[in-house]
Amino acid sequence: MDDAYIALGSNIGDREAYLLRALKMFRKTGPVSLTGLSGIYQTAPVGYTEQEPFLNMVCRLRVSVGPFELLEMLLNIETALERKRTTRWGPRTIDLDMLLYGNEKIHAPLLTVPHPCMFERAFVLVPLRDVYPFETLEGASLTERIASCSDREGIVLYRSSQDAESLLNQAS
């Protein structure tokens, strides 16, 4: 069993409902166990900025499948939640990115772990810090990494991790 950290984001429709639906799907999947939730953060879009703000969070999963099987599960959840890939960094109902998988270093055509852009994105690192049990990652502190991100000012706590957990439990 390994821990995997998954970033979730949504900026179309009922953003919070899409996050909760994805989390509920994790709970219903046998080879994964949801073991941690970050707060939910509202963030400005990065890259393609002519779109609505995102809600972002990170969850920790305990997994008994390999990283490529987990990736397939993530893609299946995105499909089930009507994710359309039309514009790079564009609007989406749900976006699920594998940030970390145990201590694995993977460089494959379909998967790179740790996620190749995560250290440049405060909208990923801030919620990751809520659920990641260590202060340092890949040789630097999360606080230092967040401070060096250009998007660090555009992140606002939308719901605490306790509120997110409570909503998820109510929705189950």
The CATH number given to whatever domain includes residue 64 is 3.30.70.560
Q: What's the pLDDT at 46?
A: 77
Query: What is the residue-level pLDDT of the chain in tens, covering all 172 positions?
Result: 899 999 999 999 999 999 999 999 988 887 889 999 999 999 988 776 677 899 999 999 999 999 999 999 999 899 888 767 666 666 888 999 999 999 999 999 999 999 988 999 999 999 999 999 888 888 889 999 999 998 888 899 999 999 999 988 887 6
pLDDT at 30: 77
Active-site hit among 92, 121, 129, 145 = 92
pLDDT of residue 55: 96
**Which position among 95, 145, 151, 159 bears the catalytic label?**
95
Task: State the pTM of this model.
Answer: 0.93
What is the number of domains present in the chain? Answer: 1
Residue 22 lies in a domain: yes
Query: What is the SS3 assignment for 36?
Result: strand
> Does residue 172 fall inside a structural domain?
no
- What are the two backbone dihedrals, phi and then psi, of residue 91, each rounded to the nearest 5 degrees? -60, 150
* 46 belongs to a structural domain: yes
**Which one is catalytic: 2, 3, 62, 97?**
97
Q: What is the pLDDT of residue 44?
A: 84
Looking at 15, 60, 83, 159, which residue is catalytic? Answer: 83
Alpha helix (H) residue ranges in the chain? 15-27, 67-80, 122-131, 142-147, 161-171
Token pair belonging to 21 = 């639906």
Return the residue matching tokens 């630097």. Answer: 140
C-alpha pair distances (Å), 149 with each of 29, 69, 118: 34, 31, 10
Looking at residue 162, its pLDDT comes to 93
pLDDT of residue 136: 86
Q: Report the pLDDT value the prediction gives residue 90, as an integer from 0 to 100.
A: 63
Q: Is 97 a catalytic residue?
A: yes
Domain hosting residue 71, numbered range: 2-166
Q: Tell me the residue ranges of DSSP E strands in 26-77.
A: 32-37, 40-43, 54-63
Distances (CA, A) of 19 to 99, 116, 146, 165: 17, 22, 23, 12
| Rg over CA atoms, the chain | 15
